[in-house]
Amino acid sequence: MDSHTKLTFFDYCKLAKSEYNKLLLVHPEISALSTRELEVFGKLLTDKTLSEIAEEHYITYSAVRFHCKNIYKKLGVSNRKQIYIKYKDL
């Protein structure tokens, strides 16, 4: 698509799926994350606090901590700093 083509919702969905599949080629372990865990994982790569992540996703702080524990276990890391190091290319 050229820069003048207006993308539809379905075009964005295809693009997102394509980008996700490229990501899985480099980091296949990410496929183990649930949709909510993927959302939280993306925020863990930012400088947002867990409280800010909770507010953005309309969930409790303890729910974010629960998701973080699951994310760490599934990705084979033990803390947020290790996520930064392992996934700095994202």
pLDDT in tens, 22-40: 999 999 999 999 999 999 9
48 domain-assigned: yes
Nearest CA-CA partner of 76 in 23, 35, 30:
30
The neighbour count for residue 70, using CB atoms within 10 Å, is 17
Whether 17 is in a domain gets the answer: no
Mean pLDDT, the chain, rounded, equals 93
Containing structural domain, residue 75? 26-86
Domain of residue 33, CATH code: 1.10.10.10
Place of tokens 């507010």: 55
In a domain, 19, yes or no: no
Number of structural domains in the chain: 1
| Model pTM score | 0.84
- Name the token pair of 84: 């930064």
